[in-house]
Structure 1
Amino acid sequence: MNRNLFRKQLSNQRGVTLIELLAVIVILGIIAAVAVPVVLNQIDTAKKNAGEADKAIVLDAAQRYFIQHSSDANPPDSVAVSTLVSEGFLKEKPKGYTGPDPITKDDLTTTTN
């Protein structure tokens, strides 16, 4: 008797139809089509902002370098990023830095205005 009841319950069970499965796949495709461009745009924006931050860090270090060396007999008009690293103004050259190298005093005044 238990077997007949079990078989009857199994026969009443309904599986997922192909149409339902296709509907889920279409919905997931629509979500992916919307989400992927948004995520890629955020990645590009983050890279751009990181590059700008790296440039600001290097230019700030160069400004500190020029201030410290302003009382020298021949104050420098430019400084290489490698000099900023070797003299301790930067811990290391930022990986995303794409600004001028060497940095001149004019580079500092044009970026702050």
Structure 2
Amino acid sequence: MLERLKEIWLDAKQMRDERGLTLIELLVVVVILGIIAAIAVVAIGGLIENSRKDAVVSDAKQLVAAAKLYTSSNPIQPGETIKLGIKDNGNDIKEKAAVTTGTAAPREDSLAKYIDEMKDSLNSDKSYKSSYVVVKESQGKYTYTVTLLSDKASNTYFDGVASSALKRSTIEVN
């Protein structure tokens, strides 16, 4: 019994002497936390960039949806091509009062009443330089090609891209 008490006493004394962490142990913990933080920053940066690119793709798809709404209420003549959008080379596309056949090709009309304001999420939320869809009628089917260009020349989004090819991977940001 006395021996057992001595063992307990020695164990307790030893535990009192080892109260804190050594400098090496603290250094190892700090280095591990630093590595984890560095990995997290890189991963989060990529997520933010991808979400901004997804917003641009969403804007392009919104243009196509608005063009489809427009063409459902304003039929296109066989073989006709029209340009529908918000901006073309920095200038607003004006809304036409009435759709007339035989106007200069491609005919243009605004989608402003179908789309709220569109901002370039990859360029400080400025307006796009060009944001329009060219719709062509061929044998009763419509094809939609999207042009969505940034005001910033180094950013490449969509320039005459088919609506089926609107992907995040085609967007280039510098």
The interval holding the TM-score normalised by the smaller chain is 0.5 to 0.7
30 and 102 in structure 1: CA distance in 2 versus 1, 3 angstrom threshold: closer
**2:111 maps to which residue?**
84
**2:56 maps to which residue?**
51
**8 Å CA contact 1:55, 1:99 repeated in 2:** no
Equivalent position to 2:117, from 85, 93, 100: 93
For structure 1, list consecutive stretches of 5 or more residues without a partner in the other structure: 1-7
Following superposition, the deviation at residue 22 of structure 1 comes to 0.8
**8 Å CA contact 2:63, 2:132 repeated in 1:** no
**1:105 maps to which residue?**
135
Partner secondary structure for residue 105 of structure 1: strand
More strand by share: 2
Following superposition, the deviation at residue 26 of structure 1 comes to 0.5
Following superposition, the deviation at residue 80 of structure 1 comes to 2.8
71 and 77 in structure 1: CA distance in 2 versus 1, 3 angstrom threshold: closer
Give aligned pairs, total.
99
Q: Deviations over 1:35-90 (max 9, x none)?
A: 22111111111111121111101211022112212279xx88122326322x3x12
Equivalent position amino acid for 1:54 in 2? D
**2:4 maps to which residue?**
none
Equivalent position to 2:65, from 55, 60, 69: 60
69 and 79 in structure 1: CA distance in 2 versus 1, 3 angstrom threshold: same
Query: How large is the RMSD of aligned CA atoms in angstroms?
Result: 3.2
Following superposition, the deviation at residue 14 of structure 1 comes to 2.3
More helix by share: 1
For structure 2, list consecutive stretches of 5 or more residues without a partner in the other structure: 1-12, 87-91, 93-109, 122-127, 137-142, 146-161, 166-174
**8 Å CA contact 1:79, 1:104 repeated in 2:** yes
**8 Å CA contact 1:66, 1:76 repeated in 2:** no
Q: Percent identity?
A: 30
TM-score of the two chains, using structure 2 as the length reference: 0.46
Partner secondary structure for residue 43 of structure 1: helix
